[in-house]
Homo-oligomer: A and B are copies of this chain.
Amino acid sequence: MKKVKVITQILDANDQIARENQRILGEHHVLCVNIMASPGAGKTSLILETSKALAGRMRTGVVEGDIASQIDSDRVASHHLPVIQINTGGECHLDASTVQKALKSLPLAQIDLLFIENVGNLICPVEFQLGEELRVAVASVPEGDDKPYKYPGIFTAVNAVVLNKMDLAPYVDFKLDAMRKGVSSMNRKAKFFEVSCRTGDGIGPWADWLETRWRAKSAQSA
């Protein structure tokens, strides 16, 4: 009971800071997308390919969350995108407070689309609101088509599922119909995109969807 009470207090405090983040992002007309996935599903690759597809249409910035290392932020910076690395130490998720510090260091006036790449983990990140507009799960073909049934929390909570590594489908036992059925059984409203960050296939419709969401948000706040 004590554990439950402490966790509830932590989540309440987090939600309050998440609302502040949402206000800051709104003032700058930034569409903020929380990208959640297993380790190695291709979160960073998706961010980079999406940023390329939207070049000239939306300006991308990135917050990179990892337990340790700055491998991902170095990779993002090499593409000349503004990026802040958060190392959580041992924490299995980002929280609104660490994201707020990152927001204060980013040139928000020059960013239209802010990706927050969460720690690689299909479970813990979903509990913590960060102030994002959209929550996205990246799944990947080699992980298998049963993930929605095994990790219902995340698949229930997201606005979209991006299925990456479609180029590996010929080499593994993956049933696309089973995956689609699993996602829709958890979440009827979630958009579903099939992509390959390696070949670029499918990135267009996903990027277009983000731009549409950004324009709708801007029109709303105008």
A interface residue count range (under 10 / 10 to 19 / 20 to 34 / 35 or more): 35 or more
Complexed CA–CA distance, A92 and B10 (Å): 17
Q: Given the known A-B contacts A119-B123, A140-B142, A168-B142, are A153 and B40 also in contact in the complex, defined by CB atoms under 8 Å?
A: no
- Binary contact track A117-144/B, C-beta < 8 Å → 1, others 0: 0011111100000000000000010111
When distances are taken between beta carbons in the complex, the residues of chain B under 8 Å from A142 are 40, 140, 142, 165, 168
Partner of A69, one of B3, B66, B146: B146
* Contact A149 B39, beta carbon cutoff 8 Å: no
Is the CB–CB distance between A121 and B150 below 8 Å?
no
Interface status of A219 (Cβ within 8 A of chain B): no
Whose C-beta in chain B lies nearest to the C-beta of A68? Answer: B152
Q: Report Cα–Cα, A10/B6, bound state, in Å.
A: 13
Contacting residue for A123 out of B90, B144, B153, B198, CB 8 A: B90
State in angstroms the CA–CA spacing of A143 and B122 once bound together.
Answer: 14
- Each complex incorporates copies of this chain amounting to 2
Q: Is A67 part of the contact surface with B, judged by Cβ < 8 Å? A: yes
Cross-interface CB contact of A92 among B66, B124, B198, cutoff 8 Å:
B124
Inter-chain contact A153/B39, CB cutoff 8 Å: no
Q: Which residue of B lies closest to A72 (CB)?
A: B150
Min CB distance, A199 to chain B, in Å?
11
In chain A, residues 157-172, which have Cβ atoms closer than 8 Å to a Cβ of chain B?
A: 165, 167-168, 171-172
Cβ A39 vs Cβ B150 within 8 A: yes
CB-CB under 8 A from A124, the residues of chain B are 92, 121, 123-124
- Complex-state Cα separation, A168 to B3, whole angstroms: 43
Minimum Cβ distance to chain B for residue A155 (Å): 11
In the complex, whether A38 has a CB less than 8 A from a CB of chain B is yes
- Which residues of chain B come closer than 8 Å to A69, judged between CB atoms? 146, 149-150
A168 to B165, CA, bound (A): 12
A80 at the A/B interface (Cβ < 8 Å)?
no
What's the Cα separation between A67 and B154 when bound, in Å?
11
The answer to whether A191 has its CB under 8 Å from any CB of chain B is: no
Which of B67, B68, B146, B153 interacts with A71 by CB under 8 Å? B146
Closest Cβ of chain B: how far from A74's Cβ, in Å? 11
Closest CB of chain B to A196's CB: distance in Å? 11
